[in-house]
Amino acid sequence: MSAIDTIRQILEQIGQTVAGITHVVLMDRTGLMIANFSKYAFKQLDLDAVGAIMGAVFQAGEEEGNALDFSGLEIQINEFKTGFRFAVACEDAGVLGVISDKDVQIGLIRASMKKFAPLLGKAMKKMLSTSNSAAMEDLKDLFGYDGL
């Protein structure tokens, strides 16, 4: 199984873990979308833009924590009128984000993200450290493009 297949499988598992989760996104530290999973999404979102913003806001939170002499941002939770947005670091490789409805069990989402974030970080590092030909195969799988 390729690294991108592992990543997609984990994102789906997170998305299916808790009722009320609508989207799960994984970005690298530059804000580039690596993969995503959506369920029960009746309203289409620009997940690339949302993911880039989410990654930037998460990293801003990390810098804020450094300025405050706090050690390590564990999880970032934003509560809006109709939903939540969660973000957690996947080691130093990326940011995992979850978007959910308002009526959701926050503790279960938090536990699921903390459980899977290290696995996603390892899979991302594996994907990014593989040889060029293997990386190109993963990119073909990721973007569904055979013309590379």
pLDDT in tens, 84-109: 999 999 998 999 999 999 999 999 99
The most distant pair of C-alpha atoms in the chain lies apart, rounded to whole Å, by: 49
User: Of 12-26, 106-120, 130-144, where does mean pLDDT reach its minimum?
Assistant: 130-144
The β-bridge relationship of strands 21-28 and 94-101 is antiparallel
Cβ atoms within 10 Å, residue 136: 12
Write out pLDDT tens, residues 53-66.
999 999 999 999 99
Asked if residue 5 has pLDDT above 60, the reply is yes
Query: What's 30's DSSP letter?
Result: T
E-state strands within 1-148: 21-28, 33-38, 76-79, 83-90, 94-101
Q: Which domains does the chain have, with CATH numbers?
A: 3-134 (3.30.450.30)
* 126: confidence class by pLDDT, cuts 50, 70, 90: confident
Write out pLDDT tens, residues 8-37.
999 999 999 899 999 999 999 888 999 999
Across residues 70-77, what is the average pLDDT?
91
Up-side HSE of residue 1: CA atoms within 13 Å toward CB?
9
Round to whole Å and give the CA distance between 47 and 90: 18
* 2: confidence class by pLDDT, cuts 50, 70, 90: confident
Kindly report the average pLDDT of the chain as a whole number: 88
> In the sheet where 94-101 sits, what is the strand order?
33-38, 21-28, 94-101, 83-90, 76-79
pLDDT at 44: 77
Phi then psi for residue 22, to 5 deg, are -110, -35
